[in-house]
Amino acid sequence: MKVVDFLHSNCVIPTLRGTSKSEVLAELARHLAGVQPGVDAVALGRALEERELLASTAIGDGIAIPHAKLDTVDCLVGVLGRSIPGLDFDSIDGKPTHLLFMLVAPTASTGSHLKALARLSRLFRDAGFRQRLIDAPDGDAMFATIEEEDAKY
């Protein structure tokens, strides 16, 4: 599975405005609702918040992968956001979170959702890849970085 199978260039936010977990989750949800028919930003934001109550999706090394399922999407979709200063996302390592990759899957899906989470976790383990995303000058360059990394596999 490639990241570009569920991330499109119009779903990259190079400068997140939110400064808290709740603000950023709402911002990611609003962005997806603006480009994906059938996505309600409020419902998605609520689903993301509920998932975060179970355990933080911040996996350390400046990365979080918030995710939720909605019955109004028919395929896996993602939004990549970047916070240069970083924010407190209750990360397991206690460090600020800079890169957030939100995944939204159809309610009935299991396999594709899990495969995407595994793929993202594998990609984000690479410190060089994370740094290239942080250093990218804009959203297009961030998306190109994802495409380049995808081409390796």
Go through the domains of the chain in sequence order and give each one's CATH number. Answer: 3-151 (3.40.930.10)
Q: What is the pLDDT of residue 90?
A: 94
Residue 111's pLDDT band, with cuts at 50, 70 and 90, is confident
**Run of H or E residues at 122:** helix 111-124
pLDDT digits (tens, 9 = 90+) for 76-102: 999 999 999 999 999 999 999 999 999
User: Considering the chain, what is the average pLDDT of its residues?
Assistant: 95
Active site residues: 67
How much is the pLDDT for 100? 98
pLDDT at 112 over 90: no
Would you state the structure tokens that stand for residue 124, as one six-digit string? Answer: 């984000």
Name the 3-class secondary structure at 150.
Answer: helix
Tell which residue, 7, 138, 14, 21, has the closest CA to residue 82: 14
